[in-house]
Chain A
């Protein structure tokens, strides 16, 4: 069974705080890692797709890094805002070629208090 682990499970921060969470995955046969943002009552939205060891991606105040050799990725949010409150999912792509699919972690639920 392929396990994608995310920590912490939930996080409460004050507006303006910077925060980060972790996604851990098996490092063998790596293809890609995805990050999604999932607001309550909405659908998950893709943030980043990362494929290379050492990859760093950034979108506004959110950034992510990838270490495929040790099997982890970090998601950072700088200066958290209430609108950043959401569940952040990471997902490991398995399988190559024309098939394959994503295995999701259980997510980190972020709550940002004004």
Chain B
């Protein structure tokens, strides 16, 4: 998707290992989000950022941490991966005044924890 890229696209990791997913944007948007998508649950918010070094928790934040040291990058870290964190992870961005603009989503990262 134009302006937002996620890496890696696919990853298999072992239980107990730390994993970092990267979201990179070239739109200079203030807001960035991490969601996970699981069957039967839809998209659930993990963490979000409303500016550099400004982050907050979403509804499923346990076991995850984030960092945003510059506008373009938002990193999601699984501190010690568990099988329950096997999922597809989507990053999203939006411009100022979130109420008036839709989100732009990345292509997703499929993470498998074995």
Q: Would you list which residues of chain B between 61 and 114 have a CB under 8 Å from chain A?
A: 90, 98-108
B14 on the interface (CB 8 Å rule)?
no
Complex CA gap A48/B35 in Å reads 20
Interface string of A3-30 (1 = CB under 8 A from B): 0000000000000000000000000000
B12 on the interface (CB 8 Å rule)?
no
Interface footprint category on A: 20 to 34
Chain A, interface SS category = strand
List 10 A–B pairs whose Cβ atoms lie within 8 Å, in order of A's numbering.
Answer: A32-B99, A36-B102, A43-B90, A46-B102, A47-B102, A89-B43, A91-B43, A103-B59, A104-B43, A105-B42
Residues in B lying within 8 Å of A, measured CB to CB: 1, 33, 35, 40-45, 48, 50-51, 56, 58-59, 90, 98-108
Known: A45-B105, A51-B99, A101-B45. 6 other contacts (CB 8 A): A46-B103, A48-B102, A93-B99, A99-B56, A104-B44, A106-B40
